[in-house]
Structure 1
C-alpha cells in the first residue's frame, strides 16, 4: 500500500475551520429561532450556504492536506456535487432545529439522514480523486466513520436545538459546543481517511483537474471570508435586534407612561377628568341598558386653601395625596374616585337606593374630618359634598356634574362639612353664578368698572390727607354693584388679576390729574388682593404704572390685609421691601383681625396700620373695643406707624378715636365714596382747605 502523509499546517487549519463552522451553525440556529417567518427563511438559506461551505471546506482542506507519493487531483463535478450535499445537509439541520419541538424519534431520524449525507459528502469527495485501481476501505473503520457522522450529527442537532435561544452566557455555551461539534466532525473525516487504503501502483485519474497547492490557500481564504461575513452579519443583526427590542420596550414604557399621564392625575394617581368622563359614559350606558341607578358625588375640601397658602404648596400637595388615599380606600373596586384639579374630587358609585349614596357620603365626611399628620404637623380639613342620582337628577354627564356642583355649593353655603342631594331650586344659584362670571369677563372690555373715592382726614386738624379708591361695577342690568357682590367670584376665577391691574392704573391716572391740579400732598391708596400680592410681577407692574403717569411714588399707598401679609412672612417682607424701596407707602389693612407676630410686624416695611372697622362699630358702647383700639394705637406709634381708623360713622366715635391718638380718620360721617367729580364738589362745599392721598379698595 502507498504510504500516506499529511500537511500538519493544513490539518490544523481544517480543525479550526470545523470549529468555526460549528459555531456558525449554532449562531445561525439562534438567528433563525429569534427571527420572524420571512426573515427566518432568509437566515435559513444564508445559514445553510455558510454552514455547508464551512463543513465542506473542512473536508476539502483535510483532503488537500493528504499526501501520496503520486500526483493527486480532484474531478470537478463530483467535488461540486459534494459541496451541494453539504449545503443541503446543513439546510436540513437548521430547519430541523428551528422547529418548536424536537422529539427523540425525530432527532434519531434526522441524525441518520444528516450523518448519512455528511458521510456521502466525504466519500464522494474521496471518489473525486478517481483512483485506479479503486480505493480499498477498511470495513471496520468505514463503518466507524459513518457511525461517528451519525452520532456527531445527532449531538450537533441536539446542542443546536438547546442553544438556539439567547439565554444568559449563551455565547460561552456555544463556544464550548462548537469545540465538541468540531472535534466530532474532524473525527469522522480523519476516521474515514484512515479507512482508505491505496494499493501500490495506484494512479489518480483526476490529477489534471483540481490540484493541491495554491488551491488550498484559495479555499481557506474564501471559506474564512464566508464564515466571517456570516458571523459578522449575525452579530450585527443580533445587536440591531437587541437595540430594536430595547427601543420597543422603551417606547412601550413611554407609551404606558403617556397613557397614565393622559388618564391619571399626576399627584394623587387617581383617574383624571379624561378617564372620569370615560367611566361616567360607561356607567351611563350600563345604567340605561339595565335600568339601574348610580350616584355622582362632587367633593370639595373646606379649609384647604388656607393650609395651601400659609404652609406652602408642598404641604398642600401632601395633604391632597392623603385625602385621595382615604377616598380610594373607602370605596369599592367597581366604583370610581377621580380628581378634577385643585381640591375637587368626583366619586361614582353604583347604588340601589339614594340612601346608599348618603351612607357613603357620611363615611367620606367622617374620614376626611379626622386629623391629617403632614411633616409632623396636625392639619384639619373637612368635606363639602353634593350628590346627584341617575336618572332623577340628570341623564347626561354634563347635567349630572353641573347639578352635583350646585349641590356641593349649597352644602358650603349651609355651613360646610356635610352633604346635600341636588334639588332643582339649586340650579337658580348656579345659573346666577355662571352668569356673573360671564358678565365679569366682559366688564373690563366694556369699561363697566368705575372707581369711587372716599376721603381720609387728618384727625388733628380735619384736613384731607388722601383718598381711598373703592371699586364699583356699573352692571348693565343690575346697576351699581359693590365689591362684596363680585370680588369673591373674581378671585375664584382668577379675573381679580386683570381687574386689580385696571384699578391700579385708573387710580394712578386720577391721582396724576389731582397732582397736576395742585394736590401734590395727596396719597391714593389701592388695596391688593391676596392673589395680586402673590403675583410675581407685582413690583414690576406697580413701577411701570407709576412711570406711565410720571407719578411720584410717595403719592401711592398700597394696602395689604394683615392675613395676606402673614401667610408667607419672608416672601411678604421681600415684596413689601421692594415696593418700599420705590418710595411707595405700605399700609397694613384690617389690623387686629389676624394673628400677627409682633416680631414679624416690626420687620415689615409698613408706614401705617388701619384698624379694622369691626373694632370701631362698638367703640361707644362700653365694650372692650376701646382698650383694643388704644393698644393698637400705642403699638403702632411705638413702631413709628401712622394709625388709620376706618368706618367712622358717629361724632362720638370720631371724638373717641381722636382722644385715643388715631392719626387719620375715614368713614361715612366724614365723606362717602363718590365719583371723582362729585368728590371735588363735596370738598369745595366743605369749609376745609388742603388735601392729600387716595387708596383703592378692590
Structure 2
C-alpha cells in the first residue's frame, strides 16, 4: 500500500481535476465550517435550548460538510479508468467526521482551556478529517490499483491536525469577537482549508496503476458519484436552512424573552418604554392599577394569583380599542398606549372597560372582586414622553385616590407633585448640573496591601433638600423605573474617570459600578456599555459590573444569559451582597461571574462570633473553590483584617478600615499616603 513501485505488469496512470468542482468543494468545506461555528457559538450561551442541541447540530454540520467536500472533490477527479463507490462504505465514512467534530467542539466549548486541550481538539478533528478521507477512499471500487506515498500520506494528516488546531484556537480565544462576521469568516476559511488541503494532499499522495488490458478502449472518466448528488444537494440545502432557521429562532426567542411578559404573553415594560420614546405629535396613556392583587396572592397562593392576572389580561385584550397598544408594565399594572389620540377618546374607552370590573370574576369556582383605578394622561408637541408616564403615575400616587374602578384624567391643579415626583422631575437636572456626583471607595488586597480597584457610589447634593442619601432617592427611582437613566450616567462618569486617570499617569485603574435589577437583562445596557468604551477608549476589563442576587433570582435564565454576554465582551462581573438574597448554589454554579462580594452583615461580628466566623470562612472557601475573586465589604476593624488574612490568601477588602468613599481630589491625596505606607511595610 505504501510504495511507489508499480505491481508487476501494471503501468502508472495519471488523472486531472476539474477546477470548477475543486472550487465548489472548497466552498462547501468553508460553508460547513461557518455553519458549524455559528451553531457552536450558542453552546456556551444560556439560551432557550439546551447547549447539547447546538453541539450536536454543529457536529453534524461540520461532519456532513467534510463528507460532502470529499465526494465532490472525488467527482472533480478524472482518469482513464471507470470508478464507482460502495454504497455502504460511502455512507459509513461520514461517522468519523461527525464524531471527531463533536469531540473537538466539546473540548473547546468547556469553560477552562489549556494549550493541551486545544492540541487534543486539533488532533481529534484532524484525525477525524483524515479518517473520513481514507475511509471514503477505501469505498472506491475500480480496476486500477493505487499506492500511497508515505511522506505525503503523513503530511496530509499533519496538515489537517495543524490547521484544525489553529482554527479551533482562534475560534475559542477570540470568542468575544466571533459576532463580527469578518473574524468568523476568517476562522471558517481556516477550518475549510484544513478539510480541503488534507483532501487534496491525500489525493497527491496516491498513485494509480492499471494493466494495459484494462486501459484498452478506456477513456477519461470522472468518478461515478451520481448516487451522491441528491443527498449532497439535500444536505447542503439543509445546512443553509439550519443556519438561517437557528439564527432567526434564537433572535425570536431572545426578543420574546426580552420584550414579552411570561404569564400574560403581553408586551412588557421594556417594549412599552421603547415605544414610549418614539416621537409623535400627540400621545395618550392609560394605566390600570389593580390594588388588591397581592392580597389575592397571599390568600389563595401565587398560582391562583397568576390565573387572576391572566384573566385580567384576557379581558383587557378582548376589550381594548383598536387604536391602542396593550402592555403589562408592572406586577399589578397594565397600560394602554394610544399615539395620535385625544385623551377624551381614551377616557371613554377606559370607562367602557371599567364596567367589566364592577362585577366579580369567577376563577376555579371562586368569585374574586377586583379593586382598580385607571389614570389617563396626554402629551403633545415637544413635551417629553417621560412626562406622559410621570403624570399618569402622579394620578396613581394621589393620596385621596379610591380604587372603585374610576377613570381619572391627570389634572395639574389637583395631582400636585409630591416629594417623590420632585425627585423624579429633578433627576435630569441633577445629572446635567452635577448635583449628582460619584465617590470612589478603594478595594485593597488584604495580604499584600495593594490597591485592587474602586467601587463607584452615587451621591446627590439637592438644590433644595441638601445632601440626599442614596437610600432615599434610589428606591424612588427604582419604583418609578427611572433607575436605568441614572445607571447610564454612572457608567459614563466612571468610564470618564478611568480615562482621566489614564491621562494623568495612573493606568489600568478599575472601577466597579452597580447594575440594578431588571436592567441586567436589558438590551439597552449592552448598547450603553459599548458606546461608553468607544467614547473613552478604555478596556472592558477596567469596568466591573456588580449585580445583586435579587436581580438574578427575578429572572434567572435571562440574567445568566446576560452575564455570559458581558463576560464574552470582556467585562468582569461581580455578584454583590452574596448571602443576603435568594439565589441558590445551582445558580452560583451556572453564573459565569468573576467576583463574589460578601455582604457586610457577615463581617460585623467577626471574629467575636464563632458562628459568624465559621459561616464567613465557609463562604470564602466556596467562592475560592469556584476560582472566584472574593471581596469582603464593610471591614472596619483591625481584628477583622487579621482574621481575614489568616483565613485565606488573595482576599480583597473594602471598608472604612482602609478608606471611606472619596471624591477624586480626596482620593489622590489618600493614594499618596497609602502608597507610602504600603512601601514602608
Same fold flag (TM > 0.5): no
Smaller-chain TM-score range?
Answer: 0.3 to 0.5
TM-score for the superposition, normalised by structure 1: 0.41
Point out the structure with max Rg over C-alpha. Answer: 1
